[in-house]
Amino acid sequence: MESNVPTPKPQPLNPAVYLVGAGPGDPGLITVRGRDILMRADVVVYDRLVGAELLDLCRPDAEKVYVGKEASRHAMTQDEINALLVERAKAGQSVCRLKGGDPFVFGRGGEEALFCREHGIAFQIVPGVTSSIAAPAYAGIPVTQREVASSFAVVTGHTKDEEAPPPALPVADTIVFLMGVRALPKIVAQLVARGDSPDTPIALVRWGTTMQQQVVTGTLETIEAEVARAGLKPPALIVVGEVVRLRESLRWFDSRPLWGQTIIVTRAREQASGLVEGLQELGARVIQCPTIRVEALEDYSVLDGVLGELDIYDWIVFTSTNGVEQFWNRLRGRNLDTRALRNAQVAAIGPATANALEQHGLYADFVPESSISDDVAQGLLEHGVQGRRVMIVRALEGREVLQEKLSEGGAHVTVAPCYRTVPDNSNAATARELLTAGEVNWVTFTSSSTVKNFVDAIGAEVIQQARDSFRIACIGPVTARTARECALEPDAIAPAATVQSLIDVIR
């Protein structure tokens, strides 16, 4: 979307290789230093277990190179990765080598750093949160606990030669095996052979710290059968020791109210962060499928015209947070601020819009309890807009009901469009695939346009075929009415037209 305020570009890094620990999967666990380098690097060379959300932090012009490794399938060999890092750095580029977990904890970061040193390439190490600690923590298993475990060890469960004997087991109260799912029978046999009790508790944590986290617990005697029953596959780590018994008391991540629920959010990305974060905080796996995209107008003549005569308006009505931001962007482009509004009173439709105004130092004189156009118009008329000049700041495609009702009530209304919304099908294929597979629990709608565009993007037939497997939540009665018109009966309707109310009704 167009803005008159330039977005500062990240300062370039010095040409070098930066070995950055991305953390165990949860994008929020990357360090501040790691995030800073990721946002500034010319080239990002990343592994299989790096969360996709982290790649969104890269510069738009950054080159992203996938070098992930999976059993028997390598995008690049280690020698090729080493050569790539050196090649890019010698070309004068800054290279962020983004590695899952910590670069020096079974991450081959030492090998890559030594290769850089041998070829005269400067490098830096940015430690990351290792999965050996984080994944058990997200499963409610502390690797140490007073009076239970005063030591822990981290061991690789994977050897290059599958026929080779496993490495000697360390003496520690807690042992964490990384990359050991396929070697589980050998690990169990080795532990029993050294004298560990068959009742020793053991847990496997798959995709730890992510919304796909899966935990299987048992004992040395039962764990292989439990893993087979759960169908657990790599990637996963293994935790052995008495601390595993604490899981039921300390379980937190996968016991939240919406854990296991997959929820599609159809709101535009520019507006979806509050809804996405709120649902994720409650444990939901959120799939963003924006059905609309906010774009700049091709012609700002109407908005520029009203900005040139703000002193004639008695009321300015802001209908959305997007409207607030674009109005202010255009205002700042004229070197103006809130003083330009003079004595105009301000209405904000919805608390989110009111909060957006407050960010610019402006407090709304009227925030209607309902966002339905008829109710908003009635409230404004009760505030005495008859015979007054009223400006409505909205999208180009906004509904005409508010304007018509105010005009019928005697107000002199000017509509000032400051952005437009267009259909967005960027993630429709993913949503369609999940719906068809019956893997979606909820679809959320936050406006009539999200309903209509979702049906157009996914296909009415696909939605109806999957309809029995998911529920629909709408943000208010207007959106619910549109859903019904599209043969999608809502299962839940937020009583207030707010993101928090929508989250609450799903919960």
* Any domain includes 338: yes
Task: Report pLDDT for 3.
Answer: 41
How are the residues of the chain apportioned to helix, strand and coil, as percentages rounded to the nearest 5?
35, 20, 40
Domain boundary among 106, 129, 152: 129
Residue 84 tokens, joined? 């790539």
Domain that holds residue 438: 262-291+424-506
Q: Which long-range contacts (CB under 8 A, 24 or more apart) does 299-306 make?
A: 300/330, 300/418, 302/415, 302/416, 302/417, 303/327, 303/330, 303/416, 303/417, 303/418, 304/330, 306/391, 306/414, 306/416
Question: Which of 267-276, 352-361, 413-422 has the lowest average pLDDT?
Answer: 267-276
Please count the structural domains in the chain: 4
Residues 240-263: what's their mean pLDDT?
A: 97
Q: In this structure, are 287 and 428 located in the same domain?
A: yes
Q: In this structure, are 414 and 469 located in the same domain?
A: no
* Any domain includes 140: yes
Task: Report pLDDT for 321.
Answer: 87
Q: In this structure, are 287 and 430 located in the same domain?
A: yes
pLDDT digits (tens, 9 = 90+) for 38-59: 999 999 999 988 878 899 899 9
Domain boundary among 99, 129, 159: 129
Q: Are 13 and 93 in contact (CB under 8 A)?
A: no
Of 213-217, 288-292, 334-338, 378-382, give the range with the top mean pLDDT.
213-217
Residues 33-38: what's their mean pLDDT?
A: 97
Confidence tier at 255 by pLDDT (50, 70, 90): very high
pLDDT digits (tens, 9 = 90+) for 164-186: 666 789 999 999 999 889 999 99
Whole-number Å distance between alpha carbons of 230 and 209: 19
Question: Which of 85-94, 246-255, 306-315 has the lowest average pLDDT?
Answer: 306-315
DSSP notation for 325-360: HHHHHHHHTTT--GGGGTT-EEEESSHHHHHHHHTT
Q: In this structure, are 303 and 415 located in the same domain?
A: yes
Task: Report pLDDT for 8.
Answer: 55
Task: Report pLDDT for 233.
Answer: 93
Task: Report pLDDT for 160.
Answer: 59
Which among 233, 168, 237, 176 has a CA at the least distance from the CA of 204? 237
Residues 453-479: what's their mean pLDDT?
A: 93
481: left (phi over 0), alpha (psi -120 to 50) or beta: alpha
Domain boundary among 110, 129, 148: 129
Q: In this structure, are 371 and 229 located in the same domain?
A: no
Residue 198 tokens, joined? 């068959």
Q: In this structure, are 112 and 76 located in the same domain?
A: yes
Here the CATH number for the domain that contains residue 181 is 3.30.950.10
Q: In this structure, are 338 and 245 located in the same domain?
A: no
* Any domain includes 276: yes
Q: In this structure, are 415 and 440 located in the same domain?
A: no
Residue 415 tokens, joined? 């509509």
Which among 175, 146, 241, 230 has a CA at the least distance from the CA of 202? 241
Which among 420, 419, 432 has a CA at the least distance from the CA of 289? 432
Task: Report pLDDT for 456.
Answer: 93
Residue 12 tokens, joined? 């370039």
Amino acid code (one letter) for 350: G
Q: In this structure, are 141 and 248 located in the same domain?
A: yes
Confidence tier at 5 by pLDDT (50, 70, 90): very low
* Any domain includes 7: no
Percentage of residues in the chain having pLDDT higher than 70: 95
Which among 398, 397, 418 has a CA at the least distance from the CA of 326? 418
Whole-number Å distance between alpha carbons of 18 and 98: 8
Mean pLDDT of the chain: 91
Confidence tier at 72 by pLDDT (50, 70, 90): low
Whole-number Å distance between alpha carbons of 350 and 184: 55
Here the CATH number for the domain that contains residue 324 is 3.40.50.10090
DSSP notation for 137-149: HHTT--S-BTTTB
- List the beta strands (DSSP E) in 389-476: 389-395, 412-423, 442-445, 471-474
Q: In this structure, are 428 and 281 located in the same domain?
A: yes
Task: Report pLDDT for 162.
Answer: 61
Kindly list the catalytic residues: 47, 69
Residues 275-286: what's their mean pLDDT?
A: 94
Residues 384-396: what's their mean pLDDT?
A: 92
DSSP 11: P
* Any domain includes 11: no
DSSP notation for 132-175: HHHHHHHTT--S-BTTTBS-EEEEE---SSTTSPPPPPP--SEE
* Any domain includes 156: yes
Here the CATH number for the domain that contains residue 111 is 3.40.1010.10
Task: Report pLDDT for 7.
Answer: 46
* Any domain includes 3: no
Q: In this structure, are 176 and 234 located in the same domain?
A: yes
Whole-number Å distance between alpha carbons of 171 and 280: 39
Residues 480-486: what's their mean pLDDT?
A: 94
Whole-number Å distance between alpha carbons of 384 and 192: 83
* Any domain includes 502: yes
Please check the confidence at residue 6 and state whether its pLDDT lies above 50.
no
Q: In this structure, are 227 and 327 located in the same domain?
A: no
Spatial neighbors of 155 by CB under 8 A, at least 6 apart, are 167, 169, 170, 175, 176, 177, 178
Please check the confidence at residue 411 and state whether its pLDDT lies above 90.
yes
